[in-house]
Amino acid sequence: MVQSLNRLKESASQTAGPYVHIGCTPNFLGMAGVYPDDLGHAMVNDKTSGERITVTGCVFDGTGTPLKDALIEIWQADANGLYNSPSELRGSADPNFTGWGRQPTDLETGVFSFQTIKPGRVPFGDGRDQAPHISFWIVARGINLGLNTRMYFGDEEAANQEDPILARLEHKVRVPTLIAERQGDTYTFDIHLQGERETIFFDI
């Protein structure tokens, strides 16, 4: 006989809330002793090859207000265009570069910051070189599924013109939402979740 399970109701949906930081960046919240350092905090060491850069910015909501509780992860190639991954078959990536980082936005200002290196070019599926870029994944309150986007470099104009992903974007006026501008060794990449300056997000 089939039993009715009407007593088992679907639980309420949740967006990414404080538990994300508690589980992923406990040291950032002052919860010492879980990990020596928060995973993804350091991407480079004193032996890492390549040009050292800082990537910084804010995640803005539709009103233009910085989110102060967002969590961001990045994934990128090393200076020679190789990924620190078992699926990388083109060569050996720099063992002194993680290729992956995780940072929360500052609880007071909403600013995030990564200390990394400028990545090399990696091939697209058809063999064409992509422009140097960094992949971003963003979670925060109000976001049910993590958002994926890319950051390209404003001082790589020629490479950006050749990039097969940028070439496929239908609305060219939105390409600047993926471009970070350089000042010194710092690239600023602001992410807009909604509004006229909404960042392009990728369904991957």
For 139-165, what is each residue's pLDDT tens digit? 987 787 899 999 999 999 999 999 999
- Average pLDDT across the chain, whole number: 91
For the domain made up of 40-192, give the CATH fold. Answer: Protocatechuate 3,4-Dioxygenase, subunit A (2.60.130)
Which residues, 6+ apart, have CB-to-CB distance to 189 below 8 Å? 55, 56, 57, 136, 151, 180
Q: Rounded CA gap, 170 and 73, in Å?
A: 27
The pTM (predicted TM-score) of the whole model is 0.90
pLDDT for residue 12 is more than 70? no
Classified as helix, coil or strand, 115 is: strand
- Break the chain into its structural domains and give their ranges: 40-192
Cβ atoms 90, 77 nearer than 8 A: no
